[in-house]
């Protein structure tokens, strides 16, 4: 491993057990900070309610650690919004937030829109399709932000579980796109970030002022873009990671993951070259009844601009 990555790994890697709830609550109150949990969701009717209710019960009812629990519904075709509202979340439809700014399909769009309808100083992002997890995902991610003011971004990592069609489960160290695309990109072009175990983890936390200072890709490139831009702007010490245990969730089909992979390549190429690309497309082929068919799938290329510019002294090395 790159020497910088190895040194960072030893300093900035923790476990969720390192941050007891009582310690987090005292730190939050001492610093006068507020916490918002944001759950981006699209067609997750069967799981979003369980995610919302678990966080609400453990971290809002039993202790007042979380101040806001918001679901951003990305135009779901099922009952996602109703299920989230019944479980106790404040629900916003992504297209209805700042309608004058337009709307794009994608996870990054939901996270960018969430900045307009939340007020927390610390933001924790949690996926809506979780099936094996716990509210300790939230507490673990908050820990480094409350322990060290230099930390601006916290990435989760975990042992992933994969459920096969026959009901059997197996453990994976990382997601398919993580291992096949994201980690090779980091090792090749950003070796100082090679110690980040799961750069595409859907569970992560950040300071509001960081999120408002960055451009946000509207699709699945958001996690990689935020990681790269945070390290570039504020240095490696602004990033931390926390082991969250085991995580189970719904798995996507390979064709959809290919679009995600193309988004990551676009995000990386932009940050290497500085060029702003317009629309991109991915050609995919399928075979049915011995015949080859093809389709051209658009790759989300738009990036939402920062909501504010960094203040003087915020860039790495200028304080």
Query: pLDDT tens across 72-107, in order?
Result: 999 899 999 999 999 999 999 999 999 999 999 999
The position carrying tokens 């959809």 is: 256
Give bridge partners of residue 246 from the DSSP assignment: 159
What is the model's pLDDT at position 300?
82
In this structure, the number of other CB atoms found within 10 A of the CB of residue 98 comes to 14
Residues of the chain with pLDDT under 70: 161-174, 248-255, 275-279, 309-319
pLDDT for 278 = 63
pTM: 0.90
3-state SS record for the chain: CCHHHHHHHHHHEEEHHHCCHHHHHHHHHHHCCCEEEEEEECCCCCCHHHHHHHHHHHHHHCCCCCCEEEEEECCCCCCHHHHHHHHCCEEEEHHHCCHHHCCCCCHHHHHHHHCCCCCCCEEEECCCCEEECCCHHHHHHHHHHHHCCCCCEEEEEEEEEEECCCCCEEEECCCHHHHHHHHHHHHHHCHHHCCCCCCCCCCEEEEHHHHCCCCEECCCCHHHHHHHHHHHHHCHHHEEEEEEEEEEECCCCHHHHHHHHHHHHHHHHHHHHCCCCCCEEEEEEEEECCEEEEEEEEECCCEECCCCCCCCCCCCCCC
The pLDDT, as a whole number, for residue 256 is: 75
Residue among 209, 205, 207, 204 nearest 307 (CA): 209
Domain map of the chain by residue range? 3-300
CA distance 246 to 143: 18
pLDDT in tens, 155-194: 999 987 655 545 555 555 557 888 999 999 999 999 999 9
Other Cβ atoms closer than 10 A to 287: 8
Which CATH code fits 3-300? 3.90.550.10
Q: What is the model's pLDDT at position 316? A: 43
The DSSP bridge pattern shows strands 35-41 and 68-73 to be parallel
Task: Write down the residue that tokens 């918002």 correspond to.
Answer: 36
Token pair of 254 as six digits:
């390979």
pLDDT at 168: 53
Q: What is the pLDDT of residue 313?
A: 54
């Amino acid at each position: 491993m790159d020497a910088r990555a190895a040194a960072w790994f030893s300093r900035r890697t923790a476990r969720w057990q390192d941050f007891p709830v009582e310690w987090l609550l005292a730190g939050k109150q001492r610093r006068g900070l507020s916490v918002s949990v944001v759950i981006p969701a699209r067609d997750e009717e069967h799981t979003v309610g369980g995610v919302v209710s678990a966080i609400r019960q453990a971290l809002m009812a039993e202790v007042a650690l979380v101040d806001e629990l918001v679901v951003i519904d990305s135009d779901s075709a099922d009952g996602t919004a109703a299920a989230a509202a019944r479980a106790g979340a404040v629900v916003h439809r992504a297209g209805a937030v700042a309608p004058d700014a337009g709307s794009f399909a994608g996870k990054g769009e939901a996270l960018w829109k969430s900045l307009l309808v939340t007020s927390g100083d610390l933001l924790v992002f949690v996926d809506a399709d979780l099936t094996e997890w716990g509210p300790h995902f939230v507490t673990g991610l908050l820990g480094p932000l409350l322990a060290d003011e230099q930390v601006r971004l916290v990435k989760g990592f975990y042992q992933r579980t994969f459920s096969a069609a026959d009901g059997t489960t197996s453990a994976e160290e990382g997601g398919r796109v993580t291992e096949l695309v994201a980690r090779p990109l980091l090792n090749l072009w950003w070796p100082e970030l090679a110690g980040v175990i799961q750069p595409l983890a859907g569970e992560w936390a950040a300071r509001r002022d960081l999120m408002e200072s960055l451009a946000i890709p509207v699709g699945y490139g958001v996690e990689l873009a935020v990681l790269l831009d945070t390290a570039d702007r504020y240095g490696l010490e602004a990033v931390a990671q926390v082991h969250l245990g085991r995580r189970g969730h719904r798995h996507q089909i390979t064709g959809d993951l290919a679009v995600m992979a193309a988004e990551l390549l676009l995000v990386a190429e932009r940050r290497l070259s500085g060029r702003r690309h317009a629309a991109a497309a991915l050609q995919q082929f399928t075979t049915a009844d011995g015949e080859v068919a093809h389709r051209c799938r658009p790759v989300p290329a738009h990036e939402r601009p920062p909501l504010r510019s960094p203040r003087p002294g915020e860039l790495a090395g200028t304080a």
